Structure 1
Amino acid sequence: MTSLAQQVFRRKPVGQMEDETGADTGKSELARTIGLAQLSMFGIGATIGTGIFFILSQAVPVAGPSVIISFVIAGVVAGLTAICYAEMAGAVPVSGSSYSYAYATMGEVVAVGVGACLLLEYGVSAAAVSVGWSQYLNQLLNNIFGFQIPEALSQAPEQGGVINLPAVVLVCLCGFLLIRGASESAKTNAVMVMIKLGILGMFVVIGITGWNSDHFSNFAPAGLTGITSAAGIIFFSYIGLDAVSTAGEEVKDPHKNMPRAILIALVAVTTIYIAVVAVALGAQSTDKFEGQEAGLSAILEDIVGSTWPGTVLAAGAVISIFSVTLVVIYGQTRILFAMSRDGIIPAVFHKVNPRTLTPVPNTIIVCIVISVLAGFVPINFLAEMTSIGTLVAFLVVSIGVIILRRTAPNLPRSFKVPGYPITPILAIAGCIWIIQDLRIVTIWVFIIWVSVAMLWYFAYGMKHSHLGRGEKAGLIAKEQS
């Protein structure tokens, strides 16, 4: 008789995952339409949001000009994790991101816990960033037309409004694109990413004309403590690189293209961030950053003596948020798709429209829930819960690399983590270092949230698990029926 421990820690073989999703045969329940370029744009689009437009006002006062080093440290920690994701994505090229990786390496109950983390990382963060969209949309409308959406229709009730309508509209627009098809969504995202990269490129080109080396004279006023503290603040600007790993079943040649796309996104994002930060520090003295709103806009306005940069960068922020929201909602639907296929959550999340080859009911449900959160819940609460979910998911993937190397040493890997096992160990240490700096209330709310997920698992998921029943899910099961 199977013990409870054997049931909850049962692992899903990687070979079975690949059979069910058609990773090797090219057959899939979802349409494989996304190429390397579009997939790379997924990672870049999910990562470069509004953070780089506004993070300097928080980080520069802490570290001074040495904030450049803080960006490098944060990039290294995120990069170590991204490299671990690249190995796992190449070895287990399926939808579900770290949920699927945990299922293959640590067992079903751990995978459910990670799934709960991903609900925070993707679902809650989609609501958080869409809430911010109304602020920048109002700024853009005011700069161009002298008109703003009334506060009653652009703020949550707790902030004096009735509903954040622009946030709801944004989520609905993203849902419409995702229902039409993954290819259309990927193309739209690629266009938006190119626009916001162009705007950041414009900042670098114009900003460097105001360069003053004296701004770097007192390089590290708070020493190593300031550098590491700022790195913790900055780290969250790198969240999103893992979005590539949610698209495993809609990617052409996933074994090769998924790790490549993660690495391309990592290099592109890190390069852009450091270029923007270096130019910003060269163009403006550090004492002006604290409390500065729309900092990049203010820097360019001082250099050119005009207000037009504010309008351009507001447009960049609007496009950035649209792009981020689109990708994270996409990621959320694919994670739920994978969990539903395994029987962990109801089958409605696994239903695919035969014409568009997209999980339409899943997308509609996700967008309704996110719309409610975005329309009625303040942004601060939403943002706090995103961070810890992401870090725990990162932590699990780094541990998963070590476990899979031991349990399946001969598994084909299109990319291997360099410097193994030091690299995943450093990634684990980096995630723990940042988690321990989070507020205690955030950690407690997270523990309660995961506990609720565990209750769901023991009440529903364990009984309905296809692996527990000895069933094959997905495409192969349909072909055999």
Structure 2
Amino acid sequence: MAPMLKQAFRRKPVELMAAETGVDGHGGGQLARTIGLFPLTMIGVGATIGTGIFFILSEAVPVAGPAVVWSFVIAGVVAGLTALCYAELASAVPVSGSSYSYAYATLGEVVAMGVAACLLLEYGVSGAAVAVGWSQYLNQLLGNLFGIQIPDALSQSPEGGGLINLPAVVLIALCALLLIRGASESATVNAIMVVIKLAVLVMFVVIGITGWNSDNLADFAPFGVAGVTGAAGIIFFAFVGLDAVSTAGEEVKNPRRTMPIAIMLALLIVTSVYVAVALVAVGAQQQARFEGQEAGLAAILEDVVGASWPGTVLAAGAIVSIFSVTLVVIYGQTRILFAIGRDGMLPKFFQQVNARTRTPVNNTIVVALAVALLAGFLPINFLAEMTSIGTLVAFLVVSIGVIILRRTAPDLPRGFRVPGYPVTPILSVLGCLWIINSLRPITIAVFAIWVAVVLVWYFTYGIRNSRLRTGHRDAS
């Protein structure tokens, strides 16, 4: 038993990761380094700003009142603490795999596989969940523009009374085709879509502020501090996705410098947009009207301008937003599988890269098929429930990893160092634990079962085939 435990907690040297991936001139990696600072920043923004901001105020304002603005700030601070930790590890270990690779370098192989389970859950399930929502917005836009609707049989899961959510499947197929074409092309398309959805949200702020009424802020914090912090827990999940930047570690130019800057820029953009949207929303509409309100931002603008066209524009913005999120989460999932396959803990099939495009085409096809099955046949509420806990546990491990890597490899080159160390990573850990504690017990139980399944795979296949055990480093 003791030798097995020793194997399970072996750590992958950062120097070996550098040699495999071509960091700092250590040779060439399998993936092409084609992504610069702007498209990388847009990957982080694209994965984070999804449909949440379009609707989350209807859940958060009834809990906090107009003080929901501070809830966004608090959630942004907690996300920011984690982002700082990601920035340091991304600059020290700039490889594919995100927190899986960071855990492998700092906490050991078995912990890395546990984190891999979290990431597969986060990216795969969230990709399916947002794709399911795409058909709803598509129907809204088609109805507003042309007066037509996709039949329920082709736009709803079986549980929703349909046969298959065909728009969701088509969306995933389009994303997969784009990713197979190449990482650089995918990043460019994503950057364009992110600029469009940011423009839609800026439009909301510019038009919405003309309906500002300071009387709406009179009872600013009706539920006190408890309401503000409770709403922050709800809102935090609108910040999930910043870690997507770290999945691109092997396809980024000058990663030690570029990755931490991109993470911090993405956090700054996302938090600024969220706070501005929240402030204008509570200033333009009475707090009592938020509860149960569907398409909240559209409804506010329609009241301000006295016309229905904002609903059409925001539906179009949501469609672009969901496409962007789906593209990035499928991308992230494929790179995580690539890293696990290269380490020998998945079959060689998952580490193969197309010679022409230098992208993991096999992974893209597998992930697209799996996500399409989930999105086509399962309802959105089932999918959405499991996304958050995987993300939080991954965040937790990254924050601990910063502390461990400072002790085990103090001289390792780092393009960025967490300010306020060790207080910052400790606060990040506490923030993640605080939010995990607010999740439903059934969510935690299902998550534990999923992690157990992945660990069974590790102890039956991964531990014997790990390249750290076999010494086989051939990336063919």
Structure-1 residue corresponding to 2:16: 16
Structure-2 residue corresponding to 1:361: 362
* Change in CA separation of 1:19 and 1:290 when aligned onto 2, cut-off 3 Å: same
Structure-2 residue corresponding to 1:107: 108
- TM-score normalized by the length of structure 1: 0.98
Q: Secondary structure at the match of 2:279?
A: helix
1:400 counterpart = 2:429: no
Taking the aligned partners of 1:333 and 1:473, their CA distance within structure 2 comes to 20
Instruction: Give the alignment of 1:60-75 within 5 angstroms.
Output: 60-75=61-76
Structure-2 residue corresponding to 1:93: 94
Taking the aligned partners of 2:197 and 2:270, their CA distance within structure 1 comes to 12
Taking the aligned partners of 1:413 and 1:43, their CA distance within structure 2 comes to 21
Question: Which amino acid in structure 2 is aligned with residue 54 of structure 1?
Answer: F
Residue segments in structure 1 that go unaligned for 5+ positions in a row: none
CA contact (8 A) 1:114 1:393 kept: yes
Deviations 1:45-67, CA, capped at 9 Å, x for gaps: 00000000000000000000110
Deviations 1:290-317, CA, capped at 9 Å, x for gaps: 1110011011111111000000000000
CA RMSD of aligned residues (A): 1.0
Question: Which amino acid in structure 1 is aligned with residue 17 of structure 2?
Answer: M
CA contact (8 A) 2:20 2:28 kept: no
- TM-score normalized by the length of structure 2: 0.99
Taking the aligned partners of 2:311 and 2:455, their CA distance within structure 1 comes to 47
Instruction: Give the alignment of 1:389-468 within 5 angstroms.
Output: 389-468=390-469
CA contact (8 A) 2:344 2:465 kept: yes
CA contact (8 A) 2:48 2:239 kept: yes
What's the % identity of the aligned pairs? 71
Taking the aligned partners of 1:333 and 1:47, their CA distance within structure 2 comes to 18
CA contact (8 A) 1:20 1:473 kept: no
Q: Secondary structure at the match of 1:3?
A: helix
Taking the aligned partners of 1:53 and 1:125, their CA distance within structure 2 comes to 17
Shift of 1:451: 0.5
Give the total of aligned pairs. Answer: 475
Deviations 1:351-370, CA, capped at 9 Å, x for gaps: 11111111111110110011
Q: Secondary structure at the match of 1:306?
A: coil
Question: Which amino acid in structure 2 is aligned with residue 162 of structure 1?
Answer: L
CA contact (8 A) 1:47 1:240 kept: yes
Question: Which amino acid in structure 2 is aligned with residue 92 of structure 1?
Answer: V
* Change in CA separation of 1:323 and 1:8 when aligned onto 2, cut-off 3 Å: same
Deviations 1:216-253, CA, capped at 9 Å, x for gaps: 11011111111111001000000000000000111000
Structure-2 residue corresponding to 1:153: 154
Structure-1 residue corresponding to 2:5: 5
Structure-1 residue corresponding to 2:286: 285
Taking the aligned partners of 1:261 and 1:85, their CA distance within structure 2 comes to 11
Taking the aligned partners of 1:33 and 1:307, their CA distance within structure 2 comes to 43
Taking the aligned partners of 1:270 and 1:47, their CA distance within structure 2 comes to 10
Taking the aligned partners of 1:443 and 1:167, their CA distance within structure 2 comes to 27
Residue segments in structure 2 that go unaligned for 5+ positions in a row: none
Question: Which amino acid in structure 2 is aligned with residue 406 of structure 1?
Answer: R
Structure-1 residue corresponding to 2:228: 227
Deviations 1:252-300, CA, capped at 9 Å, x for gaps: 0011101110000000000000001101111111011111100110111
Shift of 1:473: 4.7
Question: Which amino acid in structure 2 is aligned with residue 443 of structure 1?
Answer: I
Structure-1 residue corresponding to 2:188: 187
Structure-1 residue corresponding to 2:57: 56
Structure-1 residue corresponding to 2:312: 311
Structure-2 residue corresponding to 1:143: 144
